[in-house]
Every structure is written in structure tokens, then in C-alpha cells.
Structure 1
Amino acid sequence: MLSFFSKKRSISDDAQKCIQNISILIDKDIQSDTYDIDKVRLEVSKFLGEIKNILLRAESEQSKSRSLESVPEGETVSESSGSFSSVDKEAATEITAIAGDTDFLLLLAQGMQELDFEARKDAAQVFNNILRRCETQRLRTSLKSAGSPVKPTALDRIANTPQILEALIKGYEHTETALPCGSMLRECIRHETLAEMMLYSDLFGLFLDYIESNNFDVASDAFASFKDLLTKHKQVVSKYLQATYDRVMNDYFRRLLQSSNYVTRRQSLRLLGSLLTERANLSIMRRYISETENLKIVMNLLLDRSQSIQFEAFQIFKIFVANPSKPKEIEEILLKNKEQLLKFLEQFHKDKADEQFQEDRQMIIEEIRNGIGEKHS
């Protein structure tokens, strides 16, 4: 065992001490007269660094063990390749159990701003590693006989403690915690239950403010989490979009597509395009391309100064045009702008070396020229 853990104290003892210390840091304004805050912060940093190393070594050895299982019969491997530190394995198992039984993860999430730079990075790695270990725990649990007592995992703890996700999402409100909290959020999003909790939470709308942050790193990381929430679990997302269509597609995306930030517009267009073309979202796509306000926004984006945004806007515009059952209002807008659109599209990225794009461009030109206005002829 590493030197930080004394022979007289167990990891459980030190974890409880860490939990107490993080609580002190969170309440430092009223605890500073009783405790040496700098010393408390240092103790937390040391503990997080130690358990991070234990978890990473255990994860590495577990990967080696899987590799050994796949060695063809008759082949040999060196003894060192197959060695497994039982101490690290037991310690990692105990750490993971503590995360499921205590408020360790909650206080870790809520206390991120009180940690120093390296400790925040270690905290994120500890949190993420513990969640990854939950997948192995679930597999082992599923193999147990029916009726056997099952201890709650860290995943269960997070699912039953929504304040953890709240603290991680609000981590974007502070530059110093945005990236580690974002990493922890995306690890949570990998789990369908947690992703669904975030989608239906009132906190989901906060992502728009974070995405439009003046800090590029914060905005980019927030968008990465926003994107994962809307793409990782397709069936969950499809049901969510159907239940919250007006809020997400009309309020959220219209705001993002008209953002003053170039990166936000480009990323949002690309995300919207992927959502509309996802098979599970067919009903969402049909509804979206039947609304005139959406068409107007996309047509304006075709005129954006950025060629990248023009290109992404075209990928959505072509869905409006190719729709064989265009509503009358959509048809009227396209007819009103028919000549301008034809003139514009004839020159639109005509030198772009993308065969599929050029085929699509010609198809849309032909559809506008020969399909739009036929009923009015």
C-alpha cells in the first residue's frame, strides 16, 4: 500500500477523513477559525492523488488480465505480464464500494472549486474511473443467483442523488472547474439512466448559457456535453425530443443557430443536421421541416460569411427542398425566392471537391427549378 495510508488506518478511514475535509473546505468561511484550511486542502489533494494512482493501476492490470485471457493456447507470456497486484485490486474495490455507500462523490462534485488545480484533475479521474468500474460490478451482479443481496454501486448513488449531476453541470459557471466537471459529466452521460435524468432536468437549459460563454474552452466543453446528451442514447433522445419539441427545437436550437458566435452556429448546425437525419427522429424531422421559421433561419445561414456555416446550412436546407410533402407555407417561401435561390445555388461552392455535395447541389437545383411552383403553374 502506498505510504499515505498508514498501517493503522484503512482506506475507509482515510476516505471518511477526506469526506470530512471536503465538507470543511465547502464551509471554509465558517470553519476557518477552527481548521487550518491550507492543511485541510493539502490532505484532500494527497488522498485524491493516492487513490487515483490505485484506481489507474488496478484498471491497467485488469486490462492486462483480459489480454492474457485472449492469448492463443500454446503461447506463453512473461511472468511480469500476467502479474496482478492483489493489493491494488482490493483497494480499488474498497474505494468503489465507499463511493456507493457514502456522500464521497457528492462532496467531490460540490467541492471542486475548493480544490487546487492538480487535485481537480485527480478528482475527475477518480470519479470517472469509479463509474467505469460500475460496469464491471453490474456484470458480476448479473451473474449472481437470484435473491442475493446487492450493494448499491456508485452509479446507483448518483442516480439517487441528483445534486451530484446538478453540481457537475453548474461546474461550467466557473472557469477553473468547467473542464474537469465536463469530463465527469460526459462519463455520467455514457450511462443511459443518468443521461435521461439530465435531459429531463430543469438544469438542461443552462447549457445554452454555458455554450455561449465568452471563454472558448468553457463554451467548447459545454457544447461537447450538450452534444453527447442529444446523441449517445438514440431511443431516449427520440422520446425526449417528441416530449419537449417546442422547447428544444424551437427555443434552444433557434437561439443557438442565431448566436453571434461563429463556432456555436457551426457546431449547432452540424448537431441539428445529425439529429434530423437520425432514423429514430423521423417524426421530429418531419415536424421541423414543416415550420416556416426554421426554413427562414436556415436560408439566412446559407448567406453567412463563413463557408463552413454555409455548407452545414445547405445540409439542412436540402431536407426542406427534398421533402415530397411540403406544407403550402414552405412551398410558398421557396416559390417566392425561386429565382434568387437558383441563381445563388448555381454558384454555391461550385468548386468544392466533394462529389456527394455536388450531386446534392444539382439535385436541389433541379427540384427547385422543376418541382417548386408546379401546382401554381
Structure 2
Amino acid sequence: MKSLFKSKPKTPADLVRRTRELLIYANGECTSSREDKRVEKMAELSTLMKDLKTILYGNGESEPVPEACAQLTQEFFRVDTLRPLIICLPKLSLDSRTDAAQVVANLQRQQVHSRLIASEYLEANKDLLDLMIPGYENPDLALHYGAMVRECIRHQSVARYVLESDHMKKFFHYIKLPNFEIASDASVTFKELMTRHKSTVAEFLTKNYNWFFPEYNSTLLGSDNYVTKRQGIKLLGDMLLDRSNSAVMMRYVCSKENLRILMILLRDPSNCISIEAFHVFKLFVANQNKPPEIVSILVANRNKLLRFFVDFKMDKENEQFEADKAQVVKQIEALEQIAAPEQIVVSEQITAPEQIAAPEPRDQE
């Protein structure tokens, strides 16, 4: 007889609705509730987070059921569960935060009747990014919010919103945070923003060139932190070499200030950084429409550059690198002075443009 009164298994939609109820409870007056009641409800919420994750990811023994995933996705966004979840994240246990971040990440990719429901929802609720991105300032929540943000910016409209917001300037601060894990996570998100949606990024760089690249050069390429500098010069090369950014690249390689920075990076003690710097430096040399001041700098430093490239090698033999280097050397040798030489003084410091440090030959690491 007892089996006759067993409760009916909850559907994915039922689980979502109950999760939302508990999230609203947790975000409301739960602190004034009896302690035992609050603990009980938060424990139930943790269980529900695991249940939602299991539906979306499977449990190790069985694969996710597409119909169940579709039901969960549709109900999750229909009843607006993401907003209370983001707000409630600080009140969840560490394990529940991780589960929540994984659920949100998975939902960004779920299609219902060939539609990305998450993209449509976020298109109408872009302000949720204003709640998530500042999470980088909270050491306990930064990695969870960061994981969510990266998945949300898979949608082009969301990425455009972030790129056009004041959050972009804050990323330069997040990348410099003393906590290595958080700074690294912010760097990954920043790279995703700057590389995923080509046309949107090109539009952003064109409109924001005047503040973006000086900030980039100063914060990333001028950093004393090896990881920050290496990631910065690698990402710069990726951006400038992307065909979508060809107009921005031409503007960048016509700048005497930018050339100054790249020539200093060529001399970096780290072979990895100097190699990445070379991939950007060669764009200055390859430019068929070099401004007179760029030609002047290269000609004035021609002998030092040519001596430097004699011993400039990758740690492992690379035919493409050697071919690029040979072409750079050939073009530098063929340069003719078209303006009064701008003598460049060797200096360890990044100072005025007239004090660009030409690379000197050095032993390889």
C-alpha cells in the first residue's frame, strides 16, 4: 500500500520552477527565517543544482537526454531563473557555485527547435553582464562569474554589449590583479572578447583605437609581469594578423610610438617574448607605405638590427620563422633614407619615442 502514495518524479520544468522559488527565497528574507528552515531550504537548493547539472551533462553512467535538456532550457529562461541565480551566487556553497556556473555555461549552447534560447534571453537582458563582470573584484566569486561571462559572450550581441561598455577599461585592471588565478581568468575572458567575433571586434578597435592601444601598450606590453607581457604580445599579434583587423593593423604599424615598444620587446631577456614581438615587428617592415618617421628609425638602426638578426633564432628550428626573418633582413637592407635620420639612443627604459633601444645581438636561451 505504501508504494501507492509515492510522489510523482519531478520533470525538468518542475525542477527549474522549484529552483527559482528557492533562489528567490534565498535572495529575500531568508535571514529572518528560523535557522533550521533556512538550512533545510539551502540544502534543497544545492541538491537541485546538482539535479539540473545531471540532466544537462549526464551522470557518468548515462548520456544527457535531449528532450529533457530542451525542457529544462526552455523553462529556465521562460521563468527568468538566470537573474535570481546570478544574484544568489554569493549565498551558495562553493560546490553549488561550481554547479551553478556549469549549468549556466551548458545552457548557452542548448538549442530548442533549432533556436538558441539563451541568446534570445540575453539579448533582452544584457544588464545581467553588469552583475557578472564586476564579480572579478570578489576573490570568492571571480572564477565562477568569469566562467559564466565567457559562455555568455559566445553570443555576438552580448559580446558587442560588453565591448561597447565601460567594462572593457576595467579588464585592464582585472588582468593586473595580484591573485594569479583571477588575473589569468580575466586574461582568458579578455582574449575571448578580442578574438571570437571578428567583425564586432574590428568595429570596436576602429572606434576605440585612440584609448585602447595606448592602454594595451602600457598595461600589457609594458608590464613587469612575465605572463602578462607574454600573453599581451601574443594576443596583439593574433589581433593584428587577423584579416578582419587589416585597417587597424595598418594604423598600428604607422605609429612611431608602437615601433618603439616593439623594438624594446625584441630585446626582452625572454626568447618567447622576443619571438612574439618579432611577429609584430615584421609588420612594420613589411608595410609598403611606411611613413617617413618609420623608415627613418629603421634606417638609423639598420646595422644594429642586422647584427641582432644574425643570432636571432627560435629554440627549435622553424622554416617559416627563418623565411620571415630572411625577408625582414632583406627589406631592412633595401631601405633608403627618405628623411633626416632620427638617431635612437640605446636605453633600458621605455621613454620618449626618440630613445628607442635598438636590439643588440645576444645569446639565445
Q: Do the structures match in fold with TM over 0.5? A: yes
Structure 1 vs Structure 2: percent identity of aligned residues?
35
C-alpha separation between the residues in 1 aligned to 2:338 and 2:70? 69
Counterparts in 2 of 1:168 and 1:59: CA distance versus 1, 3 Å:
farther
The superposition leaves residues 141-193 of structure 1 with CA deviations (integer Å, 9 ceiling, x where unpaired) of 6xxxxxxxxxx933222221123222222222223322232222222222212
Q: Find 1:201's aligned residue among 165, 190, 195.
A: 165
Contact kept? 1:18, 1:44, Cα under 8 Å:
yes
SS of residue matched to 2:261: helix
C-alpha separation between the residues in 2 aligned to 1:35 and 1:246? 56
C-alpha separation between the residues in 2 aligned to 1:38 and 1:193? 39
Paired position in structure 2 for 1:51: 52
| Number of residues of Structure 1 aligned to a counterpart in Structure 2 | 334
The superposition leaves residues 259-287 of structure 1 with CA deviations (integer Å, 9 ceiling, x where unpaired) of 12111111111111111111111110100
Q: Find 1:336's aligned residue among 275, 300, 303.
A: 300
Paired position in structure 2 for 1:264: 228
Question: Residue 126 in 1 paired to residue 103 in 2?
Answer: yes
SS of residue matched to 2:140: helix
Amino acid in structure 2 at the alignment position of 1:262: Y
Paired position in structure 2 for 1:115: 92
Equivalent residues in 2 for 1:349-368, closer than 5 Å: 349=313, 352-368=316-332
Amino acid in structure 1 at the alignment position of 2:47: K
SS of residue matched to 1:245: helix
SS of residue matched to 2:141: helix
Question: Residue 219 in 1 paired to residue 164 in 2?
Answer: no
Question: Under a length normalisation based on structure 2, what TM-score does the superposition of the two structures give?
Answer: 0.82
Contact kept? 1:100, 1:155, Cα under 8 Å:
no
- How far off its partner does 1:59 sit? 12
Which moved further from structure 2: 48-57 or 248-257? 248-257
Counterparts in 2 of 1:62 and 1:196: CA distance versus 1, 3 Å:
farther
Equivalent residues in 2 for 1:144-223, closer than 5 Å: 153-223=117-187
Paired position in structure 2 for 1:245: 209
Q: Find 1:319's aligned residue among 263, 278, 283.
A: 283
Q: Find 2:70's aligned residue among 93, 102, 124.
A: 93
C-alpha separation between the residues in 2 aligned to 1:278 and 1:220? 23
Amino acid in structure 2 at the alignment position of 1:252: Y
Counterparts in 2 of 1:350 and 1:218: CA distance versus 1, 3 Å:
closer
C-alpha separation between the residues in 2 aligned to 1:283 and 1:8? 59
Counterparts in 2 of 1:347 and 1:119: CA distance versus 1, 3 Å:
same
The superposition leaves residues 42-92 of structure 1 with CA deviations (integer Å, 9 ceiling, x where unpaired) of 2221111011111223999888xxxxxxxxxxxxxxxxxxxxxxxx55543
Counterparts in 2 of 1:33 and 1:341: CA distance versus 1, 3 Å:
same
Counterparts in 2 of 1:262 and 1:11: CA distance versus 1, 3 Å:
same
Gaps of 5+ in 2: 1-5, 342-365
Counterparts in 2 of 1:92 and 1:366: CA distance versus 1, 3 Å:
closer
Contact kept? 1:256, 1:264, Cα under 8 Å:
yes
- Give the CA RMSD over aligned residues: 2.8
Amino acid in structure 2 at the alignment position of 1:126: V
SS of residue matched to 1:111: helix
Question: Residue 104 in 1 paired to residue 81 in 2?
Answer: yes
- How far off its partner does 1:329 sit? 1.5
- How far off its partner does 1:246 sit? 1.6
Contact kept? 2:295, 2:338, Cα under 8 Å:
no
- How far off its partner does 1:26 sit? 4.2
C-alpha separation between the residues in 2 aligned to 1:12 and 1:165? 25
Counterparts in 2 of 1:6 and 1:234: CA distance versus 1, 3 Å:
farther
SS of residue matched to 1:162: coil
Determine which structure has the larger helix proportion and give its number.
1
C-alpha separation between the residues in 2 aligned to 1:127 and 1:59? 20
C-alpha separation between the residues in 1 aligned to 2:66 and 2:281? 54
- How far off its partner does 1:291 sit? 0.9
Paired position in structure 2 for 1:19: 20
Question: Under a length normalisation based on structure 1, what TM-score does the superposition of the two structures give?
Answer: 0.80
Question: Residue 33 in 1 paired to residue 32 in 2?
Answer: yes
Paired position in structure 2 for 1:137: 112
